[in-house]
Amino acid sequence: MSTKSKELPRAASPEEVGVSSALTEQFLHYIKEQNLEFHSFMVIRHGKIAVEWYNEPYTADTSHSMYSVSKTFSATAIGFAVSEGLLSLDDKVLDFFPEYTPKSDSPYFDKLTVRSLITMTSGKQTNMLEDKGKIDWIEDFINSPWVFEPGTQYLYVNENIYMLCAIINRVAKTSVVDYLMPRLFEPLGIERPFWETDQNGIEAGGWGLYIKTMDLAKVMTCYLHEGKYKNKQILPKDWVKEATVNQIGDIKMPSKDKDCCAGYGYCIWMDDTEPYSYRADGMFSQFGINFPSLDATIISTAAIPCEDEARAAIWAFFPAAFADENGNGVEVDTSSVNRPVASKHSVTESRLIGKTIKVRKKILLNIIGMPVSMLPLAVTFMMSDRAGNIDNIKFNFGDHECDMTWDEGDERNTVCCGMDGRYRYGTMTLGKIKFKVCANAEWIDDINLKVMVRPVETVGMRTLNFLFRRNNKVTITPTSTPSTYKIVDTLSRSFTEIIKNPLLSKICQKAIQIAPPLAEPKHYGKIV
């Protein structure tokens, strides 16, 4: 079957498949008005694409960081392995890793099963701030503290899903990506994706997968249709039935968000918006939402830290937008939001010809392992190699663009920044990962230069504001999109769900509120 024949067909209009173009238009207008940074949005109904929208510079060809949507793909690999008899959900986790001996014995290890990992009921709690570039991930999980008996409570822990990938690595004797290529990716016409790994080449599992909007749409369509894609069985039918219903029984989920307490399947969240609806869900509002009773799927990629805001925006218009087929429609405005502005030139450019900006390191940021990088904070936080310590910055200005070159550790990069109201596209390599980027630069006035670099396969953007002062001194103010303040606000609210002690939870919330200025402080440099 050719790649083209594996694509989802497009409806002639939203109304052809019973999607209201008027409500869709209102939704797209609403997210622009509310400054909600969706990167893509797709609606599929009755097997056809009814709506497809991308926010510049994101396109249909752009892979995007999936964050915890990665978990659904890890669980899918487990589903194949179960159907092929490579493992059982009731297998004990330690049996897959006989060379690892726990530092302390516990009867709970006999109850730590594949099922408890995939349903987030393992009872293990790892250190979220651990520098993963310096540890053995399997050993760290095994020796992490118990917080409850496996199978008795729910606790969302990323490393549960990493362990699923480590198990696939053992039983299939290959990586998860290699395992899924002939079973999932190739049958759906999905190019080999990038997935972040540990030092041993085992996929992170709970995060780190980069795929296109269409790729996620194909996989969610498979789940919607009992594992079939274009009438061909791709996913094990029995697995799909189990994965998409609540698998934690009466166990309470510690969340005040109604979208996060309706139940949990096999790395799939239950929704109560519509009967039997469910979703793959990733940080910063990456969603794959299925409505089985309506034969509909919604896909979104975004950079919205407060996911309940993103979901609320969707729920305000969907599933209400699913209407009768062939009604009267309106033209849907799919214009973009993120367009750069053209910049004037500055006399300061002549001061920078052939010069280098030397930047002083921030000692505290290096101690905590979070030096500022050209990658936004939302990206570096989840990386095992976080790069950082921007230094030796050089600018080369042309008529309509400028090149910016800099060092981070032993990596040196140059990106071209558009200054004429158009992005320039290129690549940069940081933390040993190659990123596709688009960039633009703008003189705010004669001594203030704003540079914006967006790794287009991630959720974020790095902005550096350069203030060129007297005596060749430079002040550099880094900011991120999504903003560090919004990320911190979202994290602080989660402490009430993770930390049960009210006093300790309040202390942690207060402490984390001082993080933004510490995480992205002003840097000082000199032109030499």
Domain boundaries, the chain: 62-297, 347-527
Which is higher by pLDDT, 388 or 267?
267
Interval 382-407: pLDDT, tens: 676 778 899 999 999 999 999 999 99
Compute the average pLDDT of residues 109-138.
91
Of the given ranges (27-41, 153-167, 210-224, 256-270), which has the lowest mean pLDDT?
A: 256-270
The residues facing 222 across adjacent strands are none
Q: Rounded to 5 degrees, what are φ and ψ at 524?
A: -125, 140
Range among 345-349, 377-381, 514-518 rated most confident: 345-349
The vertex-398 CA angle with 392 and 403, nearest 5°, equals 30
CB atoms within 10 A of CB 309: 14
**Is pLDDT at 336 greater than 80 in this prediction?**
no
Residue 9 is predicted with a pLDDT of 96
Mean pLDDT of the chain: 91
CB 331 within 8 A of CB 21: yes
Residue 510 is predicted with a pLDDT of 61
CB 283 within 8 A of CB 128: no
Residue 503 is predicted with a pLDDT of 64
Interval 207-254: pLDDT, tens: 999 999 999 999 999 999 999 999 999 999 999 999 999 999 988 887
Q: Quick check: helix, strand or coil at residue 111?
A: helix
CA nearest 455: which of 428, 437, 479?
Answer: 437
E-only strand ranges, 409-457: 411-418, 424-430, 433-445, 448-455
| Res. 77 pLDDT band, cuts 50 70 90 | very high
The vertex-61 CA angle with 58 and 63, nearest 5°, equals 75
Q: Which residue has the tokens 């179960």?
A: 82
Compute the average pLDDT of residues 357-386.
84
Residue 21 Cα distances to 53, 177, 510, angstroms: 13, 37, 45
Which is higher by pLDDT, 487 or 311?
311
Of the candidate CATH numbers 2.40.50.100, 3.40.710.10, 3.30.1490.20, 3.30.565.10, the domain formed by 62-297 belongs to 3.40.710.10
